[in-house]
Amino acid sequence: MRKLILPVAVITAAFAMPAYAQDQGAQDTDAQAPMQADETAPLTEMARQMTDPARQQQMALMVRALSEVLLDMPLAPMMEAVAEMAGEDPEAVDPDATLRTMSPEAEQVPEQIERNVPRAMQAMGGMAEGFEAMLPALKEMAKRLEETMPAMRADPSD
pLDDT computed for residue 14 by the predictor: 55
Question: In Å, what is the CA distance from 149 to each residue of 1, 6, 140, 141, 144?
Answer: 50, 42, 14, 12, 8
pLDDT for res 157: 59
Torsion, Cα 12 18 21 26, to 10 degrees, reads -130
pLDDT at residue 136, rounded to an integer? 87
Separation between Cα atoms, residue 15 and residue 77, nearest integer Å: 20
Q: Is the pTM of this model over 0.75?
A: no
Which residues lie across from 98 on neighbouring strands? 74
pLDDT along the chain (158 residues), means of 10: 55 54 47 48 81 94 94 93 94 92 90 94 90 87 86 60
How far apart are the C-alpha atoms of 27 and 24, rounded to whole Å?
8
Q: Which helix (H) or strand (E) holds 21?
A: helix 2-21
The greatest distance separating any two alpha carbons of the chain, rounded to the nearest whole angstrom, comes to: 65
Contacts of 51 (CB under 8 A, 6+ apart): 121, 122, 125, 126
